[in-house]
Amino acid sequence: MNTLVIGSQWGDEGKGKVIDFLTEDADIVVRSQGGSNAGHTVIANGIKYVLHLVPSGILWPGKVNVIANGVVINPTSLVEEITGLRAQGVSITPENLLISDRAHVVLPIHKEIDAAQEEALGDQKIGTTKQGIGPTYADKARRIGIRMVDLVDPVRLEKVLKARIKTANEELARLGWQPADPQVTLDAVMQAAEVLRPHITNTIPVLHKAVVAGKNILFEGAQGAMLDIDFGTYPFVTSSNTSAGGCCTGSGVPPTRIDKSIGVCKAYTTRVGAGPFVTEDAEIADYLHGLGREFGATTGRPRRCGWTDGVVLRFSAMFNGFNEMAMTNLDGLDERDTIKICTAYRLGDQVLEYPPALMEDWERCQPIYETLPGWKQDITKCTKWEELPANCQAYVKRFGEIVGCPVGSVGVGPDREQTISVPH
Ligand code: GDP
Ligand code: IMO
Ligand code: MG
């Protein structure tokens, strides 16, 4: 059984927690896109882990974790992450962490270009994580990128790095930024390469053999469907395919071998960075921030908050082929008198069931809401569906109807154990 676990909104839906919960029955966990822009929180046995590049399956002993070809890897960040996880008692070896030789490398110059481009955009900026993601994927598309395989041979690495830094410095100069020192980059990447080299391999046959042997593979999506470069709120998106298709192109596991697609969603909506957010609501943002919730795992920025956007989720379920939704943070709504769900957008005299393509239209859309009663009760100790209050159950069921995809599980707290299956 090969299962995709995909963010269905704008990221930070709780994918880390859902993956961690599902890993018990998996053999392999694969990251197939994104980079250290991701921040996946897992709370296991009372300890908090934040994963950026390393698949969340690393927290379970005996599982194989693959950073596949579609990921962009900052070697220094990855070494720091591995070191940090080891300090927390996590075992990481060349046997349980494999890195694709075809994954592209994020260099310090990519972070510089990311920051310079954002600055040049002024008030039109995307609000990127400044992790160099866009510039690295741009290099990949321009066919001038450096890949993990280039880190294997130090002589080759020096040659390709120097050449790329030279052209990048010309680019930085055009943006009015200082040039990068090639030697500093070279030293940093060389040092990280020493640590990562034993993990670098051709992961495509590894995954193929696992598929043939009938192993269970989990794909850990990063970001969310509305940040997808094709289907999201373009240009306020990331630079990879965060949706179902990205799992295949980013890993080499073909679509014919995918069995199930799970959409992770919050019981409300959040977004970090700029761009349209039709159901954004200052009052619910204040309420959630007041509870100490919704601050970013990567940047610490307060996340923008709003009600559930059924238009986004309906669209997302369509192009990701979701079989079920894994809803998280249902407990976040415990104290609300009423709860709103957006069922459609109003754009002028039109009613839209799916989002528009044009940014200006997105910005003009008004939410059409349905209002449900809250449950005004602490659900964090509930362990079974039957224990959830009737209004809470009604919200979950109605949510599934509006999205057009049933909710298969709900999260009632951040801990591994705080997940409840929803009967069909
Ligand atoms: P990801 O990027 O999709 O993995 O999500 P993040 O880790 O960035 O953000 C999700 C946040 O919600 C984290 O702080 C999680 O610990 C937390 N979380 C996940 N599920 C639940 C839940 O059901 N209830 C509560 N209270 N917190 C949750
Ligand atoms: P996880 O995996 C939330 C957002 C950024 C910005 C846009 C582009 O933790 O859900 P980028 O640095 O990728 O070029 O930024 O995408 N973004 C995320 N938002 N969760 C994430 O990852 C994100 N990764 C990128 O805030 O709006
Ligand atoms: Mg996150």
pLDDT tens-digit map of 104-127: 999 999 999 999 999 999 999 999
CB 219 within 8 A of CB 251: yes
Q: How far is CA 380 from CA 21, 383, 417, in A?
A: 17, 8, 10
* Residue 366 Cα distances to 10, 282, 310, angstroms: 18, 15, 13
Distance in Å, CA 163 to ligand 1 centroid: 41
Tell me how far apart the alpha carbons of residues 27 and 64 are, in angstroms, rounded to a whole number. 6
pLDDT at 300: 80
The ligand whose atoms approach the alpha carbon of 41 most closely is 1
pLDDT of residue 45 exceeding 90, the answer is: no
Task: Kindly state if the Cβ of 222 falls inside 6 Å of ligand 2.
Answer: yes
Q: What is the mean pLDDT of residues 365-380?
A: 98
Identify the residue whose C-alpha is closest to ligand 2 atom 6.
Answer: 128
pLDDT at 318 over 90: yes
Does 297 score more than 80 pLDDT?
Answer: no
Q: What residues are labeled active site?
A: 12, 40
Considering the chain, what is the average pLDDT of its residues?
96
Residue with CA closest to ligand 2 atom 11: 128
Q: Exposed e or buried b for every residue in 121-156, given b needs 16+ CB within 10 A?
A: eeeeebbbbbbbbbbbbbbbeeeebbbbbbbeeeee
Please tell me the pTM assigned to this model. Answer: 0.97
Per-residue pLDDT tens over the stretch 213-258? 999 999 999 999 999 999 999 999 999 999 999 999 999 999 999 9
Question: What does DSSP say about strands 2-7 and 260-266: parallel, antiparallel, or unpaired?
Answer: parallel
Q: What is the DSSP track for 227-273? A: G-TTTSSTTSS-SS--SHHHHHHTTS--GGG--EEEEEEESSEEE-S
* SS3 state at 173: helix
Find out whether 395 and 313 touch, Cβ atoms under 8 Å. Answer: no
Q: What is the pLDDT of residue 298?
A: 66
Q: Strand pairing partners for 326?
A: 264, 409
Residue 390 has pLDDT above 90, yes or no: yes
Mean pLDDT score, 297-317: 92
Q: Residue with the nearest Cα to atom 5 of ligand 2?
A: 128
**Ligand 3 center–CA 166 separation, angstroms:** 34
Establish whether residue 69 lines the binding site of ligand 1, counting it when its CB lies within 6 angstroms of any ligand atom.
Answer: no
Instruction: Provide mean pLDDT across the span 161-168.
Output: 92
Averaged pLDDT for residues 62-87: 98
Mean pLDDT of the 402-415 span: 97
C-beta 296 within 6 A of ligand 2: no
Counting from 1 in the atom list of ligand 2, the atom nearest the Cα of 224 is: 10
Given a cut of 90, whether residue 361 has pLDDT beyond it is: yes
pLDDT at position 174, please?
87
Say if residue 6's pLDDT is above 70.
yes
